[in-house]
Structure 1
Amino acid sequence: MPFFTMLMLFGAGILSGICNAVAGGGTFFTFPVLMAAGLPPVVANASNTVAVWPGHALALISYRDQISEAKTNLTGSIVTVLAGGVLGAFLMIMAGNQGFSKLIPFLILFATILFANGQRFYKWLNTHEDSTHLSPALVRLIEFVIAVYGGFFSAGLGIMFMAGLLMLGVTDIQMNNALKNLLGMLVTTIALLIFILSGLVSWPHTIVTFAGAILGGFWGGRIARILPELWLRWTVISVGSGLTFYYFFKYYL
């Protein structure tokens, strides 16, 4: 691997780790750089899933106390999201590079919209303690659809799970975050296992990106104290918007 490529991947990993530690949206940096490094779209997506996985694990550990206190019966949700993650991962593999590449601009656009409206959702969550709950069957269906998306392309998965948990009746923000991290971790774990067993992960690219993400995550907490979150959020939104236009022109014009 050329040194410049390693530097580019490492830098993208750092930016991803910082963003995920402060505001989220790290995939907007790692996924396009993995593609720019020459990886086919499917391999880039699979490698990105593995590279950002430790961030999900660390987030889950920080909420272990809340998860142990959860009053919601999680068995149905766990089975549902695992099944959805499996289906999403296999759908991504079946789509192939040509099919997946055609979806990239729409996936990034969708993730950008979710990210841009994430703060509004947090505020809504805090002010709607008496929200109407959906039937368990419908909630399971929503969880399954979210997990399929997460197994296919994980950007924006956390915000989607927060909405699904709210519908299930988890209105406490800390508990919602804890369970969101648990379900997101399950989806990405089952997906990355499938990607690894399918031989779709480029380990040299993944390891370099992962190393940068760990360093970025370490710095993220310190940067959060000096850099306004709003600046970083708008940077991520701008990058996501730019990538949407870039991939649309690349694959459709």
Structure 2
Amino acid sequence: MNIIEILLLLLAGFLSGVVNAVAGGGTFITFGAMSLAGVPPIAANATSSISQFPGYVTSTLAYWSDIRRIWRSALLLAAVSIIGALLGALILLALDNPSFRAMVPWLLLAATALFAAGPWLKPKPRPDAKIFGGGSIMGSLVQLVTAIYGGFFGAGMGVMMLATLGLTQSGDYHHLNALKNLLSIVIAAVAIIVFVSGGVISWLHALLLIPGVALGGYAGVWTAKRVPQIAVRLFVIGTGLFLAAYYFVWP
């Protein structure tokens, strides 16, 4: 690894932390940086999961008071998320790099479209609704599909989960976001265990990304107060489209 690749990964980690704090979508940046650095797509996807994990933890801690009230009602969805994430991660490991690489541009386009639609997919506040009234079969099935996607390819998972929880669960936006953060930890943790067991993590790249993600998350608070969220969202969408074009043109 040369100095340019090292600087690229450090910068990508920092930018990822910033955009996650402001608008979400940092996975696009870490995955893209590793792709440009020549990391095979399966390893880039798996390593990106590890680099984003600390952000899931800190986001969940920010909602700790809400999570203390909902964790019992979230157990069923957490169990479903474990199963889905396990299936998604195992499906990824069952593929070879050429097969997964052929899927990546389509996955990136879908994730970019999902991210772009994020503001319109946010659940409307329902403060008078019963908090998480459902352990419905439909809610569990929808969460299973979301968890499979998250275990297989995590980009856009948060937006997808927030949208689906808004359709299947009760509660206002902040309670749904707390549940989304909690389930994101579950999905990411299961996927990481599978990826580590499968030996597809590039630890050197992960060690370069994680400090940048942490610093970027802290700086994101400053950025959020000064940079319009739409500008950050457009940057992430542009990154997603660039990566999709990269994988289409350079197979």
TM-score, structure 2 normalization: 0.93
Q: Which residue of 1 aligns with 2:100?
A: 100
SS in 1 for 2:70: coil
User: Residues 27-63 of structure 1: CA distance to partner in whole angstroms, max 9, x if unpaired?
Assistant: 1111011122121111111111111110111101111
Q: Which residue of 1 aligns with 2:190?
A: 190
Q: 1: distance between equivalents of 2:128 and 2:196?
A: 41
1:49-60 paired onto structure 2 within 5 Å: 49-60=49-60
1:6-21 paired onto structure 2 within 5 Å: 6-21=6-21
Q: Which residue of 2 aligns with 1:25?
A: 25
Q: Which residue of 2 aligns with 1:67?
A: 67
Q: 1: distance between equivalents of 2:225 and 2:95?
A: 42
User: Residues 118-144 of structure 1: CA distance to partner in whole angstroms, max 9, x if unpaired?
Assistant: 11122x5237988xx998112211111
Query: Is structure 2 residue 152 aligned with structure 1 residue 157?
Result: no
SS in 1 for 2:24: coil
2:223 alignment partner AA: I
Q: Which residue of 2 aligns with 1:125?
A: 124
TM-superposed deviation, 1:2: 1.5
Q: Is the 8 A contact 1:125 1:171 kept in 2?
A: no
Q: 1: distance between equivalents of 2:27 and 2:189?
A: 16
Identical-residue share of aligned pairs (%): 35
Q: Is the 8 A contact 1:134 1:167 kept in 2?
A: no
1:226-245 paired onto structure 2 within 5 Å: 226-245=226-245
Structure 1: gaps (5+ residues): none
Ranges of 4+ aligned residues in structure 1 off by more than 4 Å = 127-130
Q: 2: distance between equivalents of 1:71 and 1:250?
A: 45
Q: Is the 8 A contact 1:46 1:201 kept in 2?
A: yes
1:34 alignment partner AA: M
Q: Is the 8 A contact 1:42 1:200 kept in 2?
A: yes
Q: 1: distance between equivalents of 2:172 and 2:108?
A: 29
Q: Is the 8 A contact 1:86 1:148 kept in 2?
A: yes
Using a 3 Å threshold, how does the CA distance of structure 1 residues 211 and 71 change in structure 2: closer, same or farther? closer
Q: Which residue of 2 aligns with 1:116?
A: 116
SS in 2 for 1:103: helix
Q: 2: distance between equivalents of 1:134 and 1:108?
A: 32
SS in 1 for 2:170: coil
1:73 alignment partner AA: S
Q: Is the 8 A contact 2:112 2:241 kept in 1?
A: yes
Q: 1: distance between equivalents of 2:170 and 2:63?
A: 15
Structure 2: gaps (5+ residues): none
1:196 alignment partner AA: V
Aligned residues, how many? 248
Using a 3 Å threshold, how does the CA distance of structure 1 residues 88 and 112 change in structure 2: closer, same or farther? same
Q: Is the 8 A contact 2:126 2:172 kept in 1?
A: no
